Amino acid sequence: MNEFEKSMEEVFDIDVVGDGGQVTEQVQSKSPSKSTDEDQGKDYEYTRGQLYNLIEKGQEAAQGALEVAQESGHPRAYEVAINAMKQVADMSDKLIDLQKKMKDLDAPTKTSSPTTVNNTMFVGSTADLQKMLKETAKAMENMDDNK
């Protein structure tokens, strides 16, 4: 092994194995990750809990701001209280949107193509087809006459 190889080992912090200068590398495979369904469930529960927490704190803040506004009678205090109420309402909407998104994730994907295809095919000559159509027309006329 020459000086260059030794210095490269030190720079890149690698070990050269064997006389041929071949570098062996051990790759550690990652353990299989958790299924995406489990991750989605955990994320859903976490997000749902956070939204509940924010809604509760927002309600407390809105109540406090409303009390201050009523005591002071200042228009800006009422504006702050109304904005706090709007934020609580928006968080409640986000909670409902979260429910819809989870249902969309759980629902099977629908395809735009039909699932059942019926192909009706006539096998015969054009003369046979005309004969069949005439017989069908006569049968329909007889049904109309019998009524």
Mean pLDDT of 77-106: 90
pLDDT of residue 38: 81
CA distance 73 to 77: 7
Phi, psi of 125 (to 5 degrees): -85, 170
Average pLDDT, the chain: 79
Q: How does pLDDT run across 68-87, given as a tens digit for each residue?
A: 999 998 999 999 999 999 99
All domains in the chain, ordered by first residue: 36-106 (1.10.287.1060)
Write out the H or E segment, with its range, that includes residue 43: helix 36-72
Answer for the pair 65, 77: CB distance below 8 angstroms, yes or no.
yes
Written as six digits, the tokens of 147 are 């009524």
Written as six digits, the tokens of 64 are 């406090």
pLDDT of 60 > 90? The answer is: yes
pLDDT above 70 covers what percent of the chain? 70
CA distance 145 to 75: 84
